[in-house]
Structure 1
Amino acid sequence: MDRFSGFVLRHRLLIGLVWLAAACAGAFAALNVPDRLVEDFAPPGSAARDANAAIVAEYRTGGAAKPLVPVVTLPAGTSADTPAVREGLRAAFAAAGERLDARVVSYPDTGDVRFTGDGGRTVYGLVYPQVDPGATEFDEGPDPVGPITEAMRPLLPSGAELRVTSMDGLTEEAGGEGPSVLTETLIGGVGALVVLAFVFGSVLAVVPLVIAVVSILTSFLLVYALTGVTEVNFMVQFVVALIGLGVAVDYSLLLVTRWREERARGLSTEDATRRAMATAGHAVVFSAAAVAIGLVAMLVVPVAFLRSVAYGGVIIPGVSALVTLTLLPVTLVTVGPALDRIAPRWRSDGARAGRAWTGWARRVVRFRIPAAVAALAVLGGLAFAALGLNLGEPSSGALAKSGPAYEGLADLRHAGVPSGVLTPVDVLLPAGAGADPAAIAAELRSLPGVHAVAAPEGDAWRRDGTALVTVLPVAEGGTDAGKDLVKAVRDTVPAGGQVGGETANDIDFVSKVYGTFPLMLALICVLTFVLLARAFRSLLLAVKAVLLNLLSLAAVLGAIALVWQQGHGSDLVWGISATGSIASFVPAMVFAFLYGLSMDYEVFILARLREEYDRTGSTEAAVVEGLGRTGRLVTSAALILFLAFASLAAAPIVEVKIFATGLGIGILLDATVVRALLVPAVVSLFGRWNWWLPGWAARVLRVPPSPLPSSGERERVPIPA
């Protein structure tokens, strides 16, 4: 690292110009990259994706696209069975189909009373607008609610009320507009500046933000290039902007803090920079590698969108580390002392460990058993809640609480119609199979959990020898009952038949992603263990870091289940009731990102503990001095990341809110319960065994061995060369 530092400091002008050019090009890429991103979550090659594609290709409706549900409430004393009323309803639903060139099914078409409620006073139907075969389920076109209303209302009986609901409409009413990626990043940046100003107490607080801006823009440039090679999911723009902000500031904070500490000890500006690079710089390298490992592991998952996020996500820590280790040293040597000149009285000069954190570390060491038990109780309790995690679409009741779509859903429920009709299942019967759609519909109608089945005749439902059958569940697709029904439909449909819909997509997604999860987990753990064993020259510290990280992540998933799935906090903070389920991709992405991000703090703390132990030969002194030196740093870094994720939680998409909440909770748990309490307590408990690296392991890892110290804790041990 000293040789690298020398190269960087000798070529200051060149490095500055290179990063300036990269940032300018990145600004162009950041403005244009959103148009090159895709919005497809379905796993390729799954039965549901193939079924949805076949349905859209043949009929141009349905598939993964959810239908609109017009709900007509007739005047008191009126029934859908009245001939004149029924004819008016038939004309109204037909007009909606003609206006949108849509596939429509309703009570007037089928005569099935299950398309009515409240004794025939409430009538609903399903309207499937045209779908572009090349579009994804998230592509937004013109709002069809207005045209449906305009087409149907003049033909309805006098005094009838019309409201149009749907799962997409409820989601939009729940989320609202929300800030853009740029706005969220600016909010996170302002929060970071406030924290940095408190930490540094000088204009030097601006420097980590400059590093973050360069890192983010350069990352967008690389993502822009990546979109020319492979598909990249739209989630990458959130990941690059906000996680890039947090990681780049964290790395800068670590290096600048060590630089100020070395200057306070009397080193010159350049010598302090070299010393900071030799110590904190190593921690930055290992931390970036740990973050990348968590993201690279998603490459083994056979889902295109997760892989694309992994490609984009690996860029973030790599670029942030490179900018921190090149542009930041140049900045510190050239203008660092001038920027750090303004110093209020309360600001520490960096020469001594923080008094508050040193006192905290002494208490943890003194009461290490109660501290470890308390931390494990918190994490274990939350991890237990993760056992009840249900993956799928959020329930309709967790979405909007006002608006036309919400009022339409309320009308359905008041009439006794189950909300599962909002998540129907389409069955495509192939040509030449000899299957009778009416017979198949009758068989499906007998399945438990089915509210209604529709198999009308006509071009919208029968084409080129194929036929569509639509199953309306009692329970919504995100529930266990809804998913069980889809599995039963798949078992019932004859050979060659295909079952589509969003619920089927979710089932296949969970199977593909979490079916390979043990492999991903094993790969992550092995790579991380090797990396940390080499970084800390210790087998036990590496094992402990991996196990505590897994426990911390399980606790985060449990917290997500409590806050969102069960609604203990989501309604209070965001006004969204219990979702009943969590989007299928959320746990995988939370796991991949938090596993790496939480390793930031593990590396920051344990690297300093190892350094202090090599200096003093005492585990207790290493814990007290190491935590005293890094506690404030880790807390500040965690607060900055938390503010970035809190900004992301303002996004209008419920799934993004859940994802951001998981990341925010994970960062807070990791910086407080895990790193400030459990890690020092456990290190103190294990004593001399923390520092052991036998010769055979040292040879494999290509580092100096660390023999087991004698049982005298205060006795110094030889420091490897």
Structure 2
Amino acid sequence: MATLLHRLGRWCARHPWRVVVAWAALLALTLTGMLTLAKPLSNEFSIPGSRFEAVLETLQEEIPEAAGTTGTIVFSTDAPFTAEQEEAVAGAVERWNELPDVTATDPFVAQAEIDSTEDDLADGQAELDDGRAQLEQGEADLEEARQQVADGREQLEAGEAQLEESRAQLEAGRTQLEAAQADLDAQRQQLEAGAAAGMVPPEQAAAARAQLDAGQAQIDAQRQQLEAGEAELAAGEAQLEESRTQLEEAEAQIADGEQELADGRTELEEGEAAVAVGRRMADLTEGFRLVNEDATVAMTQLSVQDAGGLIPPETTEAIQQIGGELVDDGITVTFSKEITDDLNSLLGPGEVLGLVFAGVVLMVMLGTLVAAGLPLLMALVGVGVGLTGALALSTWVDMMSITPVLALMLGLAVGIDYSLFLINRHRQQLRRGMPVRESIALAVGTSGNAVTFAGLTVIIALAALTLTGIPFLGVMGLVAAATVAIAVLVAITLTPAALSLMGDKVLPRKARATLAETRTRLAERAAADEPHHEPEDTTKGWAAIVQRRPWLAILAVLALVAGLGYPTGQLRLGLPDGSSEPDGSSAYLTYDTVREEFGAGANGPIIAVAELDAPVADGETALLEAQADIAEDLAAVDGVVRVLPAGVNDDRDVLAFQVQPEGGPAEASTEDLVHRLSDTVEQIGADHGATIGITGQTVANIDISGQLADALPIYLLVVVGLSLILLLLVFRSIVIPLLATGGFLLSVVAAFGAVVAVYQLGHLSPIFDVHEPGPILSFLPILLIGILFGLAMDYQVFLVSAMREEHVHGTDARTAVVTGFNHSARVVTAAAIIMISVFAGFVWAHLAMVRPIGMGLAIGVLVDAFLVRMTLTPAVMTLLGEKAWWLPRWLDKILPDVDVEGAKLERTVAVAPATGTVDVDPEAPEAPEAQTEPEVSPSR
């Protein structure tokens, strides 16, 4: 590997412009890709397939208007809102609703409806009381009419009986009359026959006829009476029929009255049910307000559908512009973080200040502005290619806003350090008289080899974030790993090319002035076969001080780490909300105002979604009853302030509810509430024939934090195991990997403790602009472990490998600790300070969630570099002596020889200072280590 890198460095030194043009072309290509393909980044944390994601998908499909990305807008005035100001707000709301996919509510109209609820219920109850009285009166009137009809029925039946009796008498009279008429007619016929035959004398016949006529007159009179009776009977029947018709009409009226009463009774029952369910819903929403009691603060929630967790920048700009116009009406308008998040800027003043400080350190160390600017330039090229390339891929890969910021942070830090290691090695070789191009090639083959290995450890640790199974974290790790890989490529290709173009100017002017004299002196020494180096003083330097009192150094380091790390046990994970935004920002003012005026829980409601086994019956009351039944059980859960219906789908079988907790989204009480709801919604759903799930950003944050906490131990085991294997290969020792890994864990504990102390417990909060402590970013522990592991291995490689080289070349173990340390300490110190400066610059980043990451990395690197690697490690290795390098023979035989610092390459390079030539024979046999002293120590 060292030989391959040596050849690469030599080629880059010989063809510098080709390398520069290639990198410029690559940067132009990725920049073009970013400008044409990049899409807006997001601040939405999600884990596909998780509980809250499944519920959210149901909500988006069934009730999309309740599943949009929601932001809060607060209106405030010094005095109660005037009618003109309310009209101005109404106008702004109307204009917001005209924006694509945006839905907003007029808070004053909504509050008026809320305030009228009690009056509406009272009016409804009064109407019910009136209706009940009218119904009772109607029932009394109907009963009276029913009695009258019954009496009429009896009279009708009596009349019918009388008529029937009269009809029978008339029939009997008619029968008798007809019989008498027949008898009379027979007598008359017999009389006329006898008279005609002369059998009856005329006088007797006349008398008989007179009698018959008298009888006929009597019969006729009786017939008239009978006909008169029949006429009376017919009149009676007509009158009876009329009475029957009237009775039937009365009965029909009674039936109609009964139906009207039944309908009235049904309406009354429905009205009573509506008022009752209205009262239940009013009790559930009691205290909910959109305008405060003083009428000086109002809020509305603005929803954007199909936003994918991020309101488009053009939409947020339009929303803020419309709201900003209300200032002319004397209204102050603030927006929540969902509306104000600006994810377009990666660098802020703090980050720039960190880079400036890193430049100062480089200037002090390298002594020339040109040399000091080179590592910064290399780092900027690396992060430029890495970030623009990553953002170009954002059209296909969903990225969070913190993803490029993390890559920027790491890319700058390692990019500066890796180039610095090569530049430092090259400058040292130039000072010893080596020609420029040959020095560049050797620097790439030696220090470049170590840089490649160190970068590989960082890349592996970051790429291992994919093992967590959390997509956004995996993308974050891969983008950062790719940026680190590009930083390594820049260091071993573009840095050699730039050094070749700079020539001797990489050295300070004074050093350049004596360079010819140095080369001449080295040539004379070589001709006289004199040693090229002076004996080293092993009594000076920090390692020598540590060696004098190793136990004191160990105890001091452990005490300092314990002091920094003690808060780690109180670590509580979460995701940022409005409370973590900078004090005085629009997002924080919105969060704080809503908390003060409408309750902390209004900043992060929980969404409950009930999927019913059967649709709700038709009717508004049935729907309200179904909502109230479930909402009352949800409201009964400890920690719930109120429950509001949030929507129903068209099929009426999916109901959504907004559950307002007592505490804010990031408070421990809200986390406890989410766990309680998770345990109880299954039973509540079973009681009401439904399946209930919870979702929303608050639930998402808590669920993601829980899954990240579960993944942390596994990831830590993977990283620790990887650390042991890599260090075993590099140092061929059992103790050194254990010491390095233990030291890494100390650095992690110290970093965690510092972050918890500042950002969760609020210690030194004014200094770090932490105005409201809260839970620690849920993915910060995993990121810190992965990143610090890689960086810790960097310092381990550059410090301890130098000690190992000294030891394998015959120096005793104690002396090798000091000499190896002194060879690498200066450049490692500078590299650590630079890295700390870059990370510390992000402590005051404009993105609030980046700040604790910057703090953790800065403290972690500080502890790891200066306490663990440069103090604890020399102290322990001094106490162990030769035992520090112990390795079983059987293991020594099977382990591959990883020449990290390129010592074998150095032994195959013969430098002729007088002629400026370098001969490289990679196949040359290696001289015995005990008898061969390399001309240039690996890290000198």
Shorter-chain TM-score category? 0.7 to 0.9
Q: How does 1:571-610 map to 2 (within 5 A)?
A: 571-574=766-769, 576-610=770-804
Q: CA deviation at 1:473?
A: 0.7
- 1:641 corresponds in structure 2 to 835
Contact 1:371-1:678 at 8 Å conserved across structures: yes
Q: How does 1:424-503 map to 2 (within 5 A)?
A: 424-433=605-614, 436-455=626-645, 460-461=647-648, 463-465=650-652, 466-493=654-681, 494=685, 496-503=691-698
Partner Cα separation in structure 2 for residue 517 and residue 280 of structure 1 = 33
Contact 1:181-1:237 at 8 Å conserved across structures: no
Per-residue displacement from partner, 1:627-656 (whole Å, max 9, x unpaired)?
Answer: 222222122112222232233344322101
Contact 1:385-1:559 at 8 Å conserved across structures: yes
Deviates more, 1:598-607 or 1:424-433: 424-433
- Superposed CA RMSD in Å reads 4.3
**Percent identity between the aligned chains?**
26
- 1:168 corresponds in structure 2 to 337
Deviates more, 1:224-233 or 1:359-368: 224-233
Pairing partner for 1:192 from 314, 337, 358: 358
Partner Cα separation in structure 2 for residue 528 and residue 487 of structure 1 = 36
- 1:525 has 2:699 as partner: no
Unaligned runs of 5+ residues in structure 2 are: 118-280, 519-531, 617-625, 900-927, 934-940
Pairing partner for 2:305 from 121, 129, 132: 132
Partner Cα separation in structure 1 for residue 586 and residue 413 of structure 2 = 39
- 1:5 corresponds in structure 2 to 6
- 1:142 corresponds in structure 2 to 316
Partner Cα separation in structure 1 for residue 569 and residue 65 of structure 2 = 37
Q: How does 1:61-100 map to 2 (within 5 A)?
A: 61-63=65-67, 65-68=69-72, 70=74
Q: How does 1:10-159 map to 2 (within 5 A)?
A: 10=11, 12-14=13-15, 16-30=17-31, 32-33=33-34, 35-36=38-39, 38-39=41-42, 40-63=44-67, 65-68=69-72, 70=74, 101-102=103-104, 107-108=114-115, 111=282, 112-116=285-289, 120-121=293-294, 127-137=300-310, 139-140=312-313, 141-142=315-316, 144=319
- 1:553 has 2:748 as partner: yes
Contact 2:361-2:834 at 8 Å conserved across structures: yes
**Amino acid aligned to 1:452:** R
TM normalised by structure 1 equals 0.83
- 1:627 corresponds in structure 2 to 821
**Amino acid aligned to 2:861:** I
**Amino acid aligned to 1:366:** R
- 2:167 corresponds in structure 1 to none
**Amino acid aligned to 2:59:** I
Q: How does 1:392-411 map to 2 (within 5 A)?
A: 392-394=574-576, 397-399=579-581, 401-402=583-584
Partner Cα separation in structure 1 for residue 732 and residue 754 of structure 2 = 34
Unaligned runs of 5+ residues in structure 1 are: 79-83, 155-160, 706-715
Q: How does 1:337-348 map to 2 (within 5 A)?
A: 337-343=504-510
Q: How does 1:235-250 map to 2 (within 5 A)?
A: 235-250=402-417
Deviates more, 1:637-646 or 1:188-197: 188-197
> Secondary structure of the residue that 2:509 maps to in structure 1?
coil
Partner Cα separation in structure 1 for residue 843 and residue 29 of structure 2 = 26
Pairing partner for 2:808 from 609, 614, 624: 614
> Secondary structure of the residue that 1:693 maps to in structure 2?
coil
Bigger fraction of residues in helix: 2
> Secondary structure of the residue that 2:771 maps to in structure 1?
coil
- 1:372 has 2:554 as partner: yes
- 1:421 corresponds in structure 2 to 602
Contact 2:34-2:389 at 8 Å conserved across structures: no
Distance 1:381 1:166, change over 3 A: farther
Contact 2:578-2:587 at 8 Å conserved across structures: no
**Amino acid aligned to 1:201:** G
Deviates more, 1:667-676 or 1:140-149: 140-149
- 1:382 corresponds in structure 2 to 564
**Amino acid aligned to 1:238:** V
Contact 2:716-2:785 at 8 Å conserved across structures: no
Q: CA deviation at 1:60?
A: 3.7
Q: CA deviation at 1:518?
A: 2.6
**Amino acid aligned to 1:657:** R
- 1:544 corresponds in structure 2 to 739
Partner Cα separation in structure 2 for residue 94 and residue 188 of structure 1 = 43
Partner Cα separation in structure 1 for residue 898 and residue 337 of structure 2 = 59
Contact 1:292-1:317 at 8 Å conserved across structures: yes
> Secondary structure of the residue that 2:18 maps to in structure 1?
helix
Contact 1:298-1:310 at 8 Å conserved across structures: yes
> Secondary structure of the residue that 1:592 maps to in structure 2?
helix
Distance 1:462 1:2, change over 3 A: closer
Distance 1:256 1:67, change over 3 A: closer
Pairing partner for 1:219 from 369, 373, 386: 386
Distance 1:137 1:210, change over 3 A: closer
Per-residue displacement from partner, 1:521-542 (whole Å, max 9, x unpaired)?
Answer: 2222222222221111222111
Contact 2:809-2:929 at 8 Å conserved across structures: no
Distance 1:421 1:119, change over 3 A: closer
Distance 1:451 1:644, change over 3 A: same
Q: How does 1:201-220 map to 2 (within 5 A)?
A: 201-202=367-368, 203-220=370-387
Distance 1:352 1:199, change over 3 A: farther
Contact 1:396-1:419 at 8 Å conserved across structures: no
- 1:287 corresponds in structure 2 to 454
Pairing partner for 2:483 from 305, 316, 334: 316
TM normalised by structure 2 equals 0.65
Partner Cα separation in structure 1 for residue 751 and residue 783 of structure 2 = 12
- 2:851 corresponds in structure 1 to 657
Distance 1:279 1:25, change over 3 A: closer
Of structures 1 and 2, the larger Rg is shown by 2
Pairing partner for 1:326 from 483, 486, 493: 493
**Amino acid aligned to 1:102:** A
Distance 1:353 1:153, change over 3 A: farther
Partner Cα separation in structure 1 for residue 63 and residue 320 of structure 2 = 21
Partner Cα separation in structure 2 for residue 195 and residue 250 of structure 1 = 12
Distance 1:663 1:408, change over 3 A: closer
**Amino acid aligned to 1:447:** V
Partner Cα separation in structure 2 for residue 474 and residue 225 of structure 1 = 43
Deviates more, 1:395-404 or 1:209-218: 395-404
Contact 1:566-1:578 at 8 Å conserved across structures: no
Contact 2:75-2:297 at 8 Å conserved across structures: yes
Distance 1:689 1:222, change over 3 A: farther
**Amino acid aligned to 1:130:** S
Distance 1:43 1:254, change over 3 A: same
Partner Cα separation in structure 1 for residue 67 and residue 854 of structure 2 = 29
> Secondary structure of the residue that 2:316 maps to in structure 1?
coil
Q: CA deviation at 1:719?
A: 8.2
Per-residue displacement from partner, 1:565-595 (whole Å, max 9, x unpaired)?
Answer: 1222333232x31322122222222322222
Contact 1:553-1:594 at 8 Å conserved across structures: yes
Aligned residues: 691
